[in-house]
Structure 1
Amino acid sequence: MSNRPLASAGRAVPLLRAGLIAGIVVAAAAYPLAAVTGIGAKATAHAVEQKTSILKTALPAETSYLYAPDGRTVLTMFYEEYRQYTKIQDMSPNIQQAIVAAEDNRFYQHRGVDPKGVARAFVANARSSGVSQGASTLTMQYVRMALRDSASTPKEVQEATQQTSLRKVKEMRMALDVEKELTKEQILERYLNSAYFGHRAYGIYAASEIFFSKTPATLSPVEAATLAGLVKSPSEYDPITSDQKDATGRRNYVLDNMARLGYLSPDAVAAAKSQPIRLKLTNPPNDCASITQQYRSWGFACDYLKNWWSAQPAFGENRLERMDKLRRGGYRIVLSIDPKIQSAAETNVGAKDNTGSPFANGIVVAEPGTGRIKAMAVNRNYSLDLSENGPSSNPEADPKMKANYPNTVAPLLGGGSLPGYQAGSTFKMFPMLAALNAGMPLSTAYDSPYRYKSAVYDGWAPSNASGAMTGRQTMWSGFGKSVNTYFVQLEEQVGADSAVRLAEQLGLRWRTDVDKEQASPGKAKKWGAFTLGVSDATPLEMANAYAAVAADGRYCEAIPVMSITNRDGTPATYTTAGGVQREIAKPRCRQVVNADAARAATDAARCPTGDTPARGSCGGWSTADSVRGTVGRPVAGKTGTTDSTRSAWFVGYTPELAAASFIADPDNPFNAVGDGQSQIPVNAVANTLRDALKGQPTRQFTPPSDQMVG
């Protein structure tokens, strides 16, 4: 019997040591943590003060939503962490009580750090010679999550999550400070919006939707306990992929704690524990490839939105920062696509060439005066699945390479990295506009032989498409018949560089090495073939450039949105060079050519469509004379084909809308479309404008002044 007291004393030594350690930690927490041995409060003070200011206002990453123009229909979402911030009043009391029961029973008693919990954890860990129990309060856990969410570098992420004594002391100190600034309800709200529940569900809104297809406001005690139980270990207690034994055990533990804390009656807990976990799963869409089935063809417009967003300095200093803002910023984005116009575009493109054709037939519709994109359609399926695509028609490509039909996510319509397609005689608009803007009248006349030898362009000798284009031409007849030799002479007089610079002001960009060199200041003066459309362009660019002519010379940057609001409901803004705050989604317009010059260009551009100009004569025939009859209202535009008809274009506009359509093989520019298909873009534009404007009042173009007629 004499050995028993000695044995008891031996067992008590570790406990005594643990009690002493716990006492130190409790004292440190009470005063508050400045005296923790070996840490050095001064070394951490600056970092703590910095981080505390962040925590007072820290908001976690939040999902951005893309809406149809009605502002209600969700097309898709953008997120790295699926989350929608939810106010605590919009959460069921069940989830508030369940998370306290699961993670911090004394949440409403302590002030950020729980001395009793710290002491208990030290004793338990000393007994187990390891880490068997933690002492993190809900507030401390929130601090850790907020630091992680506000981290902008890998080092900051590591500092926020690494398992070290220094990190724990910082966390405890900040928890004490946070509790001085925020109420318990505010801390609980932020915690429930930050916690990870598994399956990419960050925050209670996402967890409620993904696991139970409901909002946090309607969670039952059983559902709330199931979700609260996941926070400790989302993979271990996952009710989706496991046999639910562990998930059920964890749920029941939470329910028992809810009873101990007085949140549920013993009978209610017994009834709840008798129920199996019944899931109703939802898989939230993410990014353009998962756009809702009803609007799947809008994927190309969604893709353009991303490319546009990544080029906006308002969202960050570089592409990575801007895309990070899109996926974490909680924006509400309303797309500018008009359902009626988009439907018309899809119908009239799809009717001309099916998705299984190597030739892409696409159309973009822009709104004059705003630059807003109203339709983007192409005979392709927007999809990441390229497994069933046809072989590439490009002989220089990898023989194993798949072509971009019937499925693709390539930016065939513009706004991405693809250079586009040679646009042919649609480029004749640029030297004509430059000449008119310089004061040359529509009646400017040149003799147009079948072949013209240019002295300005070092003996270059372009020819016309046919001998019927010979004779004396004006801007009306030259544009209507697409007379190459007329426009070479016009370009010589106004200067090819003037036409190139004007095209740039109207939104065109040079993407190939050849185009960049030819458009350079040292070369542009000699780029005689510019007027023939030898440069690549996209239908997005061409629709918007012609829209500026329809808007009396006022160019508006192409924009794919009606509105962008921040997570707090305020409009997203940027600061101009002059220090003025402007909404990002508002049109950005500037006068590029004078209004009278633009009206004169429109008068000439009525000739190709079979319309009648207000002032001059088209000379008897035109290249797309069916358009006026199809559209049924005043319309202007221009056809364009390239050598051997490798691509064919038509750009047309009314006062309300401008549309550009092309047909080409994006995989192989040498695969000729052929003359037999050159009418396809003409019909696509004419039919789309007709259908889009059906039922709207007819608007007239404003005629040019006498000075512009000459």
Structure 2
Amino acid sequence: MSNRPLASAGRAIPLLRAGLIAGIVVAAAAYPLAAVTGVGAKATAHAVEQKTSILRTALPAETSYLYAPDGTTVLTMFYEEYRQYTKLSDMSPNIQQAIVAAEDNRFYQHRGVDPKGVARAFVANARSNGVSQGASTLTMQYVRMALRDSAKTPKEVQEATQQTSLRKVKEMRMALDVEKELTKDQIMERYLNSAYFGHRAYGIYAASQIFFSKTPATLTPDEAATLAGLVKSPSEYDPITSDQKDATGRRNYVLDNMARLGYMSPDAAAAAKAEPIQLRLTNPPNDCASIDKKYTSWGFYCDYLKNWWSSQPAFGENRLERMDKLRRGGYRIVLAIDPKIQESAEKNVGAKENTGSPFANGIVVAEPGTGRIKAMAVNRNYSLDLSENGPSSNPEADPKTKANYPNTVAPLLGGGTLPGYQAGSTFKIFPMLAALNSGMTLSTAYNSPYKYKSAVYDGWAPSNASAAMTGRQTMWSGFGKSVNTYFVQLEEQVGADKAVRLAEQLGLRWRTDVDRDQASPTKAKKWGAFTLGVSDATPLEMANAYAAVAADGRYCEAIPVNAIFNRDGTPATYTTPGGVTREVAKPRCRQVVSADAARAATDAARCPTGDTPAKGGCGGWSTADSVRGTVGRPVAGKTGTTDSTRSAWFVGYTPELAAASFIADPDNPFNAVGDGQSEVPVAAVADTLRDALKGQPVRQFTPPSDRIVG
């Protein structure tokens, strides 16, 4: 008898030299159990003290949920690890008992490290000449998972998971410390929320959903045993992809242990073992492409949300950090989209131009006074599947991706990296606002010849669309008829640089080298063609810029959310440079032009739509005179076309909503849509505003003061 310990140790020596005993067995062989609190602990004390503070509050990555405006309908999720943190009180006792039976029978007896388990594993592994048993307690396993979840660098991840004796000693010491600070129930709760069960299921909530389409509270003993059995080896005991022989054997082992530990009767365990594993699988959606097909174009809105999120300093210092927060932070995000307006927008862009067309017809609807985007729709399918796409109209397009129709995830409506489309005469709003805000009046008049040679712009000679635009024009008639030479003269007087800077204050960004160069401080004063809309813009930008005019000159940053909640249910916040804490989802608004200037611009902007201004006259005809009749209430706006009608636009607004629509070929900007298509965005906006406001009280625009009328 006295020789047996020596014999066991002797058998362990070659195993140690060969590196075959892993984890706690190596630690136990290299250092006696006293090493946990002795020499080995002293060698790692500093690292342990640093890590223990993390474990006190460490939270695993958690899935973020994207909700419809009702706050209850889940549209999709964002995750790297599908997980929803669940309180122990919301878990069935069956899963708590099953995990003890599967992983740590003495969990409620030891204090983080199980000496009996260490000794048993050491002897068993020595006798088997290999690693047949481990001795990691649930607490030690939780420590390992918590260190992994809190790791910020690849090196820290490696240190948390590498199979070395030193790591095991650290784990043992930390497990002892953790058990001094956390109760068994707290450790059990954290463990079950951290464990990996296979098939992207991190934590018991995800596992219950993926394997059985239920919550952890309703797991039966056999279901709990099946899931608990997966933790040891999710691939080996996988009941989905295997023939279930190994999975069933592992489940039955857990059930037998549950009976042995008194968690269930032997008869109940035998009855459960006699039944096959019955799965009810769920494939949880992830990211925007997973949004249900019934929400046809909500994917584009979701994509806009992601791009918006990646620009918010509240979620990190750079894009990578912010997207990591989205996929790991456990946020609850409620969209600002209005389902009624979105449905109308989808219908109207689809009616004017089908999804198979090379021409994209899109629309964005913004809410004046908040900046919330109520709808985004385009005649495309939001999809990663490019197999259905037809040949591109652009001969230089990548043949692997073909065209952007009908399937695409390109941000055609704005919010991403695409520069947009030349917006034509819709840009005339910017010099008009700049002029009105500088003290000029709506009655400012210029003679508008068919062609005009500009002295300010080095002899540049723009022309009007037709000779019918000649004669003396005011802001009302000049805007209503879209008289180029009127607005070039107006821009000359107020300064092109002031119009450019105002456009920037209203949310426009220059995304091409040419636009950035022209908008630079040294060149903006000479950018005479700016008023003609030669710069690229997106419908998102234009809808929100015009929404500021509708809101009496108060610009609100475009925002896609009604609310964002942290994983603890509190609103997500950020701190301003001035030290003020604000909710991320709240509107961020500022007065850009005076209310009187904005009201005056609106009075002139009623002329293009066939509406009647409060103070002046439109000069007999307009470029979109059908809009007032379609919308059926006061409405303002502006048409825009580019050279050879390569793109066509209309931006329209009421006191309640602003909408911008375009039609263009995103693959080939030189593929002209033609004059016949210029009415497509006009109809899309008019029909959408009509549908969106149906049944609502009619609101009037506030007239400008007599001072600014002139």
TM-score tier by shorter-chain length is over 0.9
Shift in CA distance, 33/458, structure 1 to aligned 2, threshold 3 Å: farther
Displacement, 1:558?
0.3
Q: Secondary structure at 2:672's aligned position in 1?
A: coil
Is the contact between residue 603 and residue 615 of structure 2 (CA under 8 Å) also seen in structure 1? yes
Shift in CA distance, 26/184, structure 1 to aligned 2, threshold 3 Å: farther
Identity %: 92
Shift in CA distance, 21/292, structure 1 to aligned 2, threshold 3 Å: closer
Shift in CA distance, 529/172, structure 1 to aligned 2, threshold 3 Å: same
Shift in CA distance, 25/288, structure 1 to aligned 2, threshold 3 Å: closer
Shift in CA distance, 17/559, structure 1 to aligned 2, threshold 3 Å: closer
Is the contact between residue 14 and residue 126 of structure 1 (CA under 8 Å) also seen in structure 2? no
Give me the whole-angstrom Cα distance separating, in 2, the residues matched to 1:634 and 1:60. Answer: 53
Is the contact between residue 18 and residue 126 of structure 1 (CA under 8 Å) also seen in structure 2? no
Displacement, 1:397?
3.4
Is the contact between residue 90 and residue 216 of structure 1 (CA under 8 Å) also seen in structure 2? yes
Displacement, 1:395?
3.0
Is the contact between residue 419 and residue 538 of structure 2 (CA under 8 Å) also seen in structure 1? yes
Displacement, 1:400?
5.5
Is the contact between residue 431 and residue 490 of structure 2 (CA under 8 Å) also seen in structure 1? yes
Structure 2: gaps (5+ residues): none
Displacement, 1:296?
3.3
In the comparison of the two structures, how many residue pairs are matched?
710
Give me the whole-angstrom Cα distance separating, in 1, the residues matched to 2:4 and 2:82. Answer: 60
Displacement, 1:28?
8.9
User: Cα deviation per residue 1:372-429 (whole Å; 9 max; x = unaligned)?
Assistant: 0000000001100111211121233345550101111000000000000000000000
- Asked if 1:221 corresponds to 2:221, the answer is yes
Shift in CA distance, 41/632, structure 1 to aligned 2, threshold 3 Å: same
Q: Secondary structure at 1:662's aligned position in 2?
A: strand
- Asked if 1:403 corresponds to 2:400, the answer is no
User: Cα deviation per residue 1:191-241 (whole Å; 9 max; x = unaligned)?
Assistant: 000000000000000000100011100000010000000000000000000
Shift in CA distance, 338/37, structure 1 to aligned 2, threshold 3 Å: closer
Displacement, 1:42?
4.0
Shift in CA distance, 495/5, structure 1 to aligned 2, threshold 3 Å: closer
TM-score of the superposed pair, with normalisation by structure 1? 0.96
Shift in CA distance, 484/26, structure 1 to aligned 2, threshold 3 Å: closer
Q: Secondary structure at 2:53's aligned position in 1?
A: helix
Q: Secondary structure at 1:56's aligned position in 2?
A: helix
Displacement, 1:40?
4.7
Displacement, 1:41?
3.7
Displacement, 1:2?
18
Displacement, 1:23?
17
Deviates more, 1:395-404 or 1:416-425: 395-404
Displacement, 1:125?
1.7
Deviates more, 1:385-394 or 1:217-226: 385-394
Give me the whole-angstrom Cα distance separating, in 2, the residues matched to 1:389 and 1:4. Answer: 74
Displacement, 1:44?
1.6
Shift in CA distance, 416/34, structure 1 to aligned 2, threshold 3 Å: farther
Deviates more, 1:149-158 or 1:33-42: 33-42
Deviates more, 1:293-302 or 1:181-190: 293-302
Structure 1: gaps (5+ residues): none
Give me the whole-angstrom Cα distance separating, in 1, the residues matched to 2:53 and 2:186. Answer: 16
Q: Secondary structure at 2:125's aligned position in 1?
A: helix
User: Cα deviation per residue 1:323-358 (whole Å; 9 max; x = unaligned)?
Assistant: 000000000000100001101111111110100000
User: Cα deviation per residue 1:38-64 (whole Å; 9 max; x = unaligned)?
Assistant: 965444222111111111111110000
Shift in CA distance, 511/25, structure 1 to aligned 2, threshold 3 Å: closer
Is the contact between residue 596 and residue 704 of structure 2 (CA under 8 Å) also seen in structure 1? yes
Is the contact between residue 288 and residue 303 of structure 1 (CA under 8 Å) also seen in structure 2? yes
Aligned to 2:429: 429
Is the contact between residue 456 and residue 492 of structure 2 (CA under 8 Å) also seen in structure 1? yes
Give me the whole-angstrom Cα distance separating, in 1, the residues matched to 2:48 and 2:600. Answer: 67
Shift in CA distance, 422/30, structure 1 to aligned 2, threshold 3 Å: same
Shift in CA distance, 39/483, structure 1 to aligned 2, threshold 3 Å: farther
Is the contact between residue 22 and residue 131 of structure 2 (CA under 8 Å) also seen in structure 1? no
Shift in CA distance, 28/399, structure 1 to aligned 2, threshold 3 Å: closer
Shift in CA distance, 3/679, structure 1 to aligned 2, threshold 3 Å: closer
Q: Secondary structure at 2:235's aligned position in 1?
A: coil
Shift in CA distance, 147/367, structure 1 to aligned 2, threshold 3 Å: same
Give me the whole-angstrom Cα distance separating, in 2, the residues matched to 1:507 and 1:305. Answer: 17
- Asked if 1:285 corresponds to 2:285, the answer is yes
User: Cα deviation per residue 1:647-702 (whole Å; 9 max; x = unaligned)?
Assistant: 00000000000000000000000000000010000000000000000000000000
Shift in CA distance, 169/471, structure 1 to aligned 2, threshold 3 Å: same
Shift in CA distance, 428/238, structure 1 to aligned 2, threshold 3 Å: same
Is the contact between residue 534 and residue 642 of structure 2 (CA under 8 Å) also seen in structure 1? yes
Give me the whole-angstrom Cα distance separating, in 2, the residues matched to 1:5 and 1:517. Answer: 82
- For the aligned residue pairs, the C-alpha RMSD in angstroms reads 3.1
Displacement, 1:77?
0.4
Displacement, 1:130?
2.5
Shift in CA distance, 8/135, structure 1 to aligned 2, threshold 3 Å: closer
Give me the whole-angstrom Cα distance separating, in 2, the residues matched to 1:297 and 1:559. Answer: 18
User: Cα deviation per residue 1:117-147 (whole Å; 9 max; x = unaligned)?
Assistant: 1111111122223322111000000000000
Deviates more, 1:16-25 or 1:497-506: 16-25
Shift in CA distance, 108/8, structure 1 to aligned 2, threshold 3 Å: closer
Displacement, 1:6?
14
Is the contact between residue 41 and residue 173 of structure 2 (CA under 8 Å) also seen in structure 1? no
Is the contact between residue 15 and residue 127 of structure 1 (CA under 8 Å) also seen in structure 2? no
Give me the whole-angstrom Cα distance separating, in 2, the residues matched to 1:604 and 1:25. Answer: 83
Shift in CA distance, 7/681, structure 1 to aligned 2, threshold 3 Å: closer
Q: Secondary structure at 2:295's aligned position in 1?
A: helix
Displacement, 1:447?
0.3
Is the contact between residue 457 and residue 528 of structure 2 (CA under 8 Å) also seen in structure 1? yes
Give me the whole-angstrom Cα distance separating, in 1, the residues matched to 2:347 and 2:4. Answer: 93
Is the contact between residue 81 and residue 200 of structure 1 (CA under 8 Å) also seen in structure 2? yes
Is the contact between residue 297 and residue 377 of structure 1 (CA under 8 Å) also seen in structure 2? yes
Moved over 6 A (4+): 1-34
Q: Secondary structure at 2:545's aligned position in 1?
A: helix
Give me the whole-angstrom Cα distance separating, in 1, the residues matched to 2:137 and 2:550. Answer: 64
Is the contact between residue 18 and residue 123 of structure 1 (CA under 8 Å) also seen in structure 2? no
Q: Secondary structure at 1:351's aligned position in 2?
A: helix
Give me the whole-angstrom Cα distance separating, in 1, the residues matched to 2:5 and 2:104. Answer: 38
Give me the whole-angstrom Cα distance separating, in 2, the residues matched to 1:108 and 1:37. Answer: 21
Is the contact between residue 26 and residue 119 of structure 1 (CA under 8 Å) also seen in structure 2? no
Give me the whole-angstrom Cα distance separating, in 2, the residues matched to 1:243 and 1:645. Answer: 63
Give me the whole-angstrom Cα distance separating, in 1, the residues matched to 2:440 and 2:131. Answer: 86
Aligned to 1:136: 136
Shift in CA distance, 664/13, structure 1 to aligned 2, threshold 3 Å: closer
Is the contact between residue 64 and residue 330 of structure 2 (CA under 8 Å) also seen in structure 1? yes
Displacement, 1:27?
12
Give me the whole-angstrom Cα distance separating, in 2, the residues matched to 1:78 and 1:113. Answer: 36
Give me the whole-angstrom Cα distance separating, in 1, the residues matched to 2:83 and 2:490. Answer: 59
Is the contact between residue 36 and residue 172 of structure 2 (CA under 8 Å) also seen in structure 1? no
Q: Secondary structure at 1:65's aligned position in 2?
A: strand
Is the contact between residue 25 and residue 115 of structure 1 (CA under 8 Å) also seen in structure 2? no
